[in-house]
Chain A
Amino acid sequence: MNDKRSVLRLDDITMQFGGVVAVNNLSLDVNEKEIVSLIGPNGAGKTTAFNVITGVYAPTNGAVTYYGEPLVSNFPQSKMKKMYAGENLGKYTETIRRTPDKITKMGIARTFQNIRLFKELTVFDNVLIAKHMNTKAGIFSAACRLNYKEEKSMRQESMELLDMFGLTAFKDEIASSLPYGQQRRLEIARALATEPKLLLLDEPAAGMNPQETNELTAFICQIKDEYNLTVFMIEHHMNLVMEISDRIYVLDFGKLIAAGTPSEIQSNQRVIDAYLGVAEDGE
């Protein structure tokens, strides 16, 4: 199963905020062309894990590897040394920090749990902005429109994306005026505009009805094939997760409690306990 190339690897990632360990010793793998899901009850630390991968937070301990290259790495320092409550102390001795924009440039794009569109801008501008990071023109030549060719291709590519996502009709609408489902779609379109190799989706089906969720399921598979993506997502809709995931990781209270294929996860007792609670009468 793991003969494919590893795209993303988390090693012993621990994220501690003050005394709270949000993610505890998380290790996982995402391989090329896979759809991998990260599930778990609310507050399990899923989004925190995403924020570590995308550079929003520096992990307290551990390392993230992207296509075999170290992406982020850290170990407890200064104040954290005394407070550190996780494991594997001393295993990592290197600090590598990257800002989110650098990580995006390396080919990791993401969407957000609570939609974060550029609300007051048009749908078209939302996508077009994501193309900005590839501009070669400096601000001067951009102002003098010396980069009109580049600008033209940026616009064209953005239009193609909107076409693909069925958003062409809303092109000049203000992003916040779109219906909720379309906003979710637009967020994925915007993420794809950065031409990623790995797409991180943070609860893409949140707030969607069953029909919309089904459409989204098909849609994720479609864009994955079309753009040769690897998808790593957080999701609560079990139908969606079980249907499209190649593998699933389950997080509870910051700790990995299970990993495996959808069918393995469905029959895993610890997962069932985490989601449904454990009967306490025995003890």
Chain B
Amino acid sequence: MMKMSKRTKYILSIALAVAVVLLLAYMDANKSEYSYAIAILQRSAIYAIVAVAMNLLTGFTGLFSLGQAGFMAIGAYTVAILTIPVESRPSVYYINGIADALSNASLPLWGALILGGLFSALLGGLIGIPVLRLKSDYLAIATLGFSEIIRAVIAAPQLDRITNGSYGLKSIPNFGSVYDVFVIAFLCILVMILIINSSYGRAFKAIREDEVAAEAMGINLFKHKGMAFIISCFFTGVSGGLLAVFMRSIDSKTFQVMLTYDILLIVVLGGLGSITGSVIGSFLITAAREWLRFFDNPLVIAGFQVPLFRSGFRMVIFSLVLMAIVLYYRKGIMGSKEFSWDGLYRFIYKLFSKLRRKTPGKEANHHE
């Protein structure tokens, strides 16, 4: 089978990038028509950051954590509190008033995002010290618990003057341009890819494969697990901040356990241990949720109303699709592999040879 040259791949990658930018530019130019699609893409990009961050922890380091929603909440509240315009703060905090120290504290979006990430990472470090001694399911349960604690603390009346308690925060200013989210998501994911491909990333993978052997190879388990956890928390916090800006208004209910499960779903469907899988998964799942809205509307075929089509039916279909994927693609869309042009080419090649009813088995065995 023919192999692509490096140059071809290079050109294809650039072409893809240009196509994406052009598509965004086109949508941006026709905002009124495409605002819905842009919103879906933005949400996907935000989820892609958390998904990759969760994958870094679960898929690459082998630490199963379910604390994503909590850490997103930290980032989201930090960004929201610091970016709500000073003049509109009295109206946001109209019931309890705002803490004096915060009434004039304000940061540009990028600064607030980094600070949100740092707060989240700091808390991740504090929680990580006791929690990272646990293994597998126990770690998941403990982080899930902490995530709920964070949510409860945010909604606590004692913090009314900071988080506005159960009233939530609104009037969060929108992104400056359509591209902001995508550029930030690209940068975040790029940094995580660089970490995973560095010497430290290899150490993370070693821990995933075999803790005892990793330790016998001189890898300090506690230090490296802590690093993975803190890095993951940082980017989870950043994406939480982006989510706050995207939604324009947040409250503690935004960050319930369901949010964590959404991310978990993306990671598992994309493929544990595959970054491109997480990215593809986040776009597919976020989009699928919206496409399936079709099932929520009553459907009338030739005067006959199909009985099942009503509000909520979408989630039934969604669950069925998920079950099918988990049954037949147990390793997710990408498995633990990364996207490559060769892989795509092979996939299409196989697909075509199957369609042409040739013997696909023979050819399938030849590649590589």
Asked if A41 is an interface residue, CB under 8 A from chain B, the answer is: no
Binds A, one of B29-37, B137-145, B204-212, B237-245: B204-212
Asked if B213 is an interface residue, CB under 8 A from chain A, the answer is: yes
Pick the contact of B209: A121, A135, A151 (CB < 8 A).
A121
Binds B, one of A59-67, A122-130, A210-218, A233-241: A122-130
Asked if A165 is an interface residue, CB under 8 A from chain B, the answer is: no
Q: Say yes or no: A101-B218 contact (C-beta < 8 A), given A129-B202, A143-B194.
A: yes
Residues of B close to A130: CB separation below 8 A: 217-218
Pick the contact of A133: B191, B212, B219, B227 (CB < 8 A).
B219
Assess whether A112 is in contact with B213, with CB atoms less than 8 Å apart. yes
Which of A101, A109, A145, A190 is the most central at the interface, judged by chain B CB atoms within 10 Å of its CB? A101
Minimal Cβ-Cβ distance residue in B for A105: B218
Assess whether A143 is in contact with B198, with CB atoms less than 8 Å apart. yes
Residues of B close to A147: CB separation below 8 A: 199
Assess whether A100 is in contact with B210, with CB atoms less than 8 Å apart. no
Asked if A81 is an interface residue, CB under 8 A from chain B, the answer is: no
Residues of B close to A276: CB separation below 8 A: none
How near does chain A come to B8, taking the closest CB pair, in angstroms? 22
Asked if A99 is an interface residue, CB under 8 A from chain B, the answer is: yes
Assess whether B218 is in contact with A133, with CB atoms less than 8 Å apart. yes
How near does chain A come to B356, taking the closest CB pair, in angstroms? 31
**B interface footprint on A115-149 (CB within 8 Å = 1, 0 otherwise):** 01111110001001111110101010011110100
A31 to B191, CA, bound (A): 48
Asked if A154 is an interface residue, CB under 8 A from chain B, the answer is: yes
A119 to B212, CA, bound (A): 13
Residues of A close to B191: CB separation below 8 A: 143
Asked if A56 is an interface residue, CB under 8 A from chain B, the answer is: yes
Asked if A184 is an interface residue, CB under 8 A from chain B, the answer is: no
Asked if A54 is an interface residue, CB under 8 A from chain B, the answer is: yes
Asked if A110 is an interface residue, CB under 8 A from chain B, the answer is: yes
Q: Say yes or no: A139-B215 contact (C-beta < 8 A), given A119-B209, A132-B199, A132-B203.
A: no
How near does chain B come to A56, taking the closest CB pair, in angstroms? 7
Residues of A close to B195: CB separation below 8 A: 139, 142-143
Interface size of B in residues (CB-CB distance below 8 Å): 25
Asked if A194 is an interface residue, CB under 8 A from chain B, the answer is: yes
A193 to B219, CA, bound (A): 13
Residues of B close to A139: CB separation below 8 A: 195, 198, 200, 227, 231
Asked if B184 is an interface residue, CB under 8 A from chain A, the answer is: no
Asked if B287 is an interface residue, CB under 8 A from chain A, the answer is: no
Assess whether B221 is in contact with A121, with CB atoms less than 8 Å apart. no
A139 to B223, CA, bound (A): 11
Assess whether A104 is in contact with B218, with CB atoms less than 8 Å apart. yes
A129 to B209, CA, bound (A): 12
A119 to B336, CA, bound (A): 13
Assess whether B206 is in contact with A129, with CB atoms less than 8 Å apart. yes
Assess whether B194 is in contact with A144, with CB atoms less than 8 Å apart. yes
Residues of B close to A144: CB separation below 8 A: 194
A190 to B218, CA, bound (A): 11
Which of B194, B199, B221, B231 is the most central at the interface, judged by chain A CB atoms within 10 Å of its CB? B199
Pick the contact of B217: A119, A154, A194 (CB < 8 A).
A194
Minimal Cβ-Cβ distance residue in B for A131: B199
Asked if B216 is an interface residue, CB under 8 A from chain A, the answer is: yes
Asked if B136 is an interface residue, CB under 8 A from chain A, the answer is: no
A147 to B191, CA, bound (A): 16
Pick the contact of A143: B200, B203, B219 (CB < 8 A).
B200
Minimal Cβ-Cβ distance residue in B for A187: B213
Assess whether B205 is in contact with A99, with CB atoms less than 8 Å apart. no
Assess whether B216 is in contact with A109, with CB atoms less than 8 Å apart. yes
A130 to B205, CA, bound (A): 12
How near does chain B come to A194, taking the closest CB pair, in angstroms? 6
Residues of B close to A190: CB separation below 8 A: 217
Asked if B220 is an interface residue, CB under 8 A from chain A, the answer is: yes
A56 to B212, CA, bound (A): 8
Pick the contact of A142: B199, B216, B219, B220 (CB < 8 A).
B199
Pick the contact of B212: A116, A125, A128, A129 (CB < 8 A).
A116
Pick the contact of B216: A100, A131, A137, A151 (CB < 8 A).
A100
How near does chain B come to A262, taking the closest CB pair, in angstroms? 29
**B interface footprint on A61-105 (CB within 8 Å = 1, 0 otherwise):** 000000000000000000000000000000000000001111011
Residues of B close to A145: CB separation below 8 A: 194, 198
How near does chain A come to B203, taking the closest CB pair, in angstroms? 5
Residues of B within 8 A of A (CB): 191, 194-195, 198-200, 202-203, 205-206, 209-210, 212-221, 227, 231, 336
- Show 20 residue pairs from A and B whose CB-CB distance is below 8 angstroms, ordered by the A residue: A105-B218, A117-B209, A117-B213, A118-B209, A118-B213, A119-B209, A120-B209, A121-B209, A125-B202, A129-B219, A130-B217, A131-B199, A132-B202, A132-B203, A133-B218, A137-B199, A139-B195, A142-B198, A142-B200, A151-B198
Q: Which 3 A-B residue pairs are closest in the complex by CB-CB distance?
A: A133-B218, A118-B209, A104-B218
